[in-house]
């Protein structure tokens, strides 16, 4: 089997307009990444098994009814609707692709899924007023879902809505501990617009 830039597999992918997946230049080798990992190891060094039972890890992701062309893990896709004219149902799905935004949270007791309302846009307002205030915070304050509501640490991902100063203070106001709470205010994305704009 031939591998590399000139392999038949890559030639086919290039002709079909598909890109290589999981290509990350110099993964986790920058000074910042190394420093972050060392800090994390130091932060955890005195933790016991009981400490880890209080983490509430979260993420959000998209679920496509039909995967968009060139997206990772594509299984169903067509270059245009004419490729599948014989199937009206698939034809309409491709023409009107639907995307579902999902918020997910794990604790040692329960798994929480929150699916975005179809008519709503995934805005900061919606995230704070609906996802967090109506779903996540009540979930974390319920003893049926967590070991001890007073000891829960909310672990965010790196999405802008998670890194916002407003998110941190929303959890503080509701007595939920925010991951690495002491270092976020000056680095919050809602205080650093150039970071959001990519400048």
Alpha helices in 45-178 (DSSP H): 49-52, 88-95, 124-126, 137-140, 160-163, 165-173
9-54 pLDDT per residue, tens: 455 444 444 444 444 445 556 676 777 777 777 877 887 878 878 8
The residues spanned by each domain of the chain are 48-197
| 101 contact partners, CB below 8 Å, separation of at least 6 | 60, 61, 62, 115, 116, 122
Cα separations (Å) of 167 from 9, 11, 38, 127?
Answer: 45, 46, 26, 9
Summarised one tens digit per residue, pLDDT across range 51-73 is 878 888 887 776 665 555 555 44
Give me the pLDDT at residue 19, please: 44
Backbone angles phi, psi at 100, to 5 degrees: -110, 125
Model confidence, pTM:
0.56
Q: What is the pLDDT of residues 127-165, one digit of tens each?
A: 889 999 999 999 999 999 988 888 888 887 767 777 778
Which pLDDT tens digit goes with each residue over 70-89?
554 444 444 555 555 555 55
- The pLDDT, as a whole number, for residue 121 is 77
């Amino acid at each position: 089997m031939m591998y590399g830039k000139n392999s038949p597999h890559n030639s086919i992918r290039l002709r079909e307009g598909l890109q290589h997946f999981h290509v990350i230049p110099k993964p986790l080798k920058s000074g910042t990444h190394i420093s972050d990992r060392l800090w994390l190891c130091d932060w955890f060094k005195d933790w016991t098994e009981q400490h880890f039972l209080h983490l509430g890890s979260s993420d959000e992701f998209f679920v496509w009814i039909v995967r968009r062309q060139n997206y990772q893990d594509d299984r169903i896709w067509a270059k245009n609707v004419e490729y599948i004219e014989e199937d009206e149902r698939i034809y309409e799905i491709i023409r009107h692709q639907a995307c579902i935004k999902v918020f997910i949270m794990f604790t040692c007791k329960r798994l929480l899924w929150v699916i975005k309302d179809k008519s709503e846009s995934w805005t900061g307002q919606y995230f704070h007023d609906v996802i967090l205030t109506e779903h996540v915070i009540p979930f974390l304050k319920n003893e049926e879902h967590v070991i001890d509501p007073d000891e829960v640490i909310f672990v965010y991902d790196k999405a802008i809505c998670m890194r916002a100063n407003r998110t941190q203070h929303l959890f503080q106001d509701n007595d939920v501990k925010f991951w690495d709470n002491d270092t976020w205010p000056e680095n919050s994305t809602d205080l650093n617009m150039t970071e959001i704009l990519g400048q």
